[in-house]
Structures are given as C-alpha cells and as structure tokens.
Amino acid sequence: MEEPVPIAEIANLDLDVQEDDDIVDPWNVASKSDTGIDYEKLIKRFGCSKVDDELIARFEKVTGKPAHHLLKRGIFFSHRDMHSILNIVEAGKQFYLYTGRGPSSDSMHLGHLIPFLFTKWLQEVFDVPLVIQLTDDEKAFWKDMTVETSMKMAFDNAKDIVAVGFDLEKTFIFNDLTYIGQCPEFYRNMVRIQKCVTFNQVKGIFGFGDSDVIGKITFPSIQAAPAFSTSFPAIFNDKKLPVLIPCAIDQDPYFRMTRDVSARLKFPKPALLHSSFLPALQGAQTKMSASDVNASIFLNDTAKQIKNKINKHAFSGGQPTVEEHRLKGGNPDIDISYQYLKFFLEDDEKLADIRQRYISGEMLTGELKKAAIDCISPIITEYQERRAKVTDDVLKQYMTIRKLKFDYK
C-alpha cells in the first residue's frame, strides 16, 4: 500500500500570502494592479522556473525551428522541468503532450485559444502524440448545471478544439464522463492517485471546505490521471512515458500534486509550460471569462460583434483628450487592445512599431483599437470557416479510442 505523500511536498506553496497578493487558483484569477497579475511574484509563490533566454535558445536549437511568438514574448512564461523534456528529445527518446479544457459555455472564447494554439505548435515541432481532456465532470461539480448539460458543452467545445487544426493521426480527445467508463486503466490510475493523497492534503492544496460536494475531493485525481501514459492503453500500451503539459498557470496546483504522486507510483514527473492570462476587455485585473459576454470575445462572435466589443469595452491606456495624448503618449502595458496584439500579432517588428508610436502619442487609442480589430477579426473568421467543417462524424474520429500513428512496444 502506498503511504500518503507528506503535505509539505504536495502543496509546495508559499502559505504566507499577503492581503494585496494576486489571487490565482483553478477557479479564481484577480489582481488589484492595472497591469494585471505579477507573474514574477507568482513564479516565486508557486516554486516554478522562469522561461528565460537560455531555455528559448535551447528550444530553437533542439527543434531547429524559430521559437513561437507566445514563448518569445513571455506569454508562456514559466515551466517545470522543460529542460528534462529537451534532454529526452536530444536523446532520441519519446514523450507525449497533455492539455485540457473545462467546458463552461457553448463556445470557447479567445483566451481559451492560447494553450491550444501553442500546444498545436508543440505537437508539430516535436512530432508527438497529444491527449486532450474535457473535464465535464468538473463543471458538473462546480457549476449549477446537470451532467447532461455539461456533457453537451464538452462535445461543443471539443468541436471548437478540433477546429484549431490538430492532426487526427496524432490526437485523442476525450471527455471524462464518457472515457472513464470505457477505460478501466484510467480508473485504476485514479484509484492509485487517490490512495496517495489524504483528505487534509487535498483541502490544503485546493481550499475545499466541509460543505463542498464530495465529487470535488476526488476530482484532482481525475485531472492527474492523463499525466500517466498507462491511462491510454490503446495509444501507449503499458509503456510509462514522460509527459509535457502546456496549460494556464492557474492549473498548476493539480500538477504540483501530480508530480509528487507520480514519484510514489514510479512514473516520470510531468513537465509543464505555463501561460499567462488573456485579460478581460475591461482591464487586466482579471482574465477573460466565459461567464461575462461583454468581458470576452467568443470564437463564434461575428466581425461586427468583435468590432463593437473592442471599441466599446476594451480598456484604454490613452490620455483623456487627444491633445494630452499627443503630449504624454499612452501606456501599452495597461491598454487591452495592445495586450491582445501582444498575444495574436505574430509580426515582432510591427508590434514594436505600434508600441513605440502609442507611447510617443503618435498613435491614438482609436487607431490602436482598429489595429487590434484588424488583427483579431481575420483570425476568428478563418477559425470559424474551419469550425463549420467539424461535423459530428469528424468529432467522432478524434474521440474514438484508437491507436495513433506512433508505435509503443
């Protein structure tokens, strides 16, 4: 029988959180600063490592490809054991990718795209299999929705994910409420994980209270299980492979727990790459949320809706009057239109030019908003064209339990 892991090892948290610290956990993200989350401070609190110039250079050397703009610009800003993954690649050994989505709306929004766009790039440059988990069970526990509603959202969001363009031969998408009943190996790994973590430890890591439904207590084991390759016998047989998990930083508590449990279960510790948050339209104090229509740009919004949302709601870093703006310039670090360009405009020179012209006062807020609209609208239009082609039959291919194009013996 596995002994529970000591809580200090699992939590790995700075428990001395100050009153003015940012709130970042799997369910809440908030900052009191106009510039948003202090990611440098968050790295120290969570005990992860910064994505620095050395790591980016090594990425390019190992892959033979230019680093993704989301990596170069610090949007994927921290990691756990990424050098170990690069060591594996250099040694000619194998690993896989795992990421996911908690379905909470009929359509994903622009912020949800970030981990998936980067994961697609990782899959392409490393030529590795990918498993994508849809945690419809989680949303049934945390949201006021039925199991049936949560499952429907999972399938809708799965179509959204397919439209990103993942390679069918290398990608398996599953929802918990279906797959766990189909794969006993997945459930067995859940039980192994549950035996390693006590109730008090889960409360300490995730802040569960005595009035929380019991499903919440067991859910972390469900999100941890895909980090064990034997949870997917059709893909990996019984081979224990390392995994790299690209995800937003708010999901890190699940995988701090997973890393400590994996050592006890004799699996490789999962490596992680953490992304920052795409801010809400109203400002960087919180992330874009599916629960607020006016705070988010959804992937099924029309070009007119996108234009209206940015023009009406995007927080400005400009001055109150044109004359004052020409004199003092704007602040791109708090301006939401500029922040969206930082996430989605791939041309580094053009982004630098926009930043300089806005700071100098040459570019006005209205012009910056137009630049953001002109950047985002074509991305979503092209995405919607792909999404329209994702039929039920196409989705079924991605979600069918099957061997992928890789051999593991």
Name which of 196, 236, 203, 212 is nearest 404 in CA terms.
236
Cα separation, 386 vs 392, in Å, equals 14
DSSP code string of 342-359: HHH---HHHHHHHHHHHH
Strands (E), 138-186: 171-175
- Asked whether the predicted pLDDT for residue 103 surpasses 70, the reply is yes
Q: What are the structural domains, with CATH classification, of the chain?
A: 33-409 (3.40.50.620)
Tokens read off for 217:
């207590």
Q: Mean pLDDT for the chain? A: 92
Tokens 């419809």 label which residue? 136
Q: List, for residues 140-179, the tens digit of each pLDDT value.
A: 999 989 999 999 999 999 999 999 999 999 999 999 999 9
**What contacts 24+ positions apart, CB below 8 Å, involve 373-377?**
373/306, 373/307, 373/310, 373/311, 375/340, 375/341, 375/344, 375/345, 376/110, 376/297, 376/306, 376/310, 376/340, 376/344, 377/303, 377/306, 377/307
Q: What is the sign, positive or negative, of the torsion defined by CA atoms of 38, 42, 45, 51?
A: negative
- Asked whether the predicted pLDDT for residue 408 surpasses 60, the reply is yes
Give the pLDDT of residue 34.
Answer: 83
Which residues have C-beta within 8 Å of that of residue 331, sequence separation ≥ 6? Answer: 317, 318, 359
Which of the four pLDDT bands, split at 50, 70 and 90, describes residue 2?
A: very low
Cα separation, 235 vs 375, in Å, equals 38
Q: List, for residues 267-280, the tens digit of each pLDDT value.
A: 999 999 999 999 99
- Asked whether the predicted pLDDT for residue 391 surpasses 70, the reply is yes
In percent, the amount of the chain with pLDDT more than 90 equals 84
Q: Compute the average pLDDT of residues 337-342.
A: 97
- Asked whether the predicted pLDDT for residue 300 surpasses 80, the reply is yes
Name which of 10, 80, 4 is nearest 257 in CA terms.
10
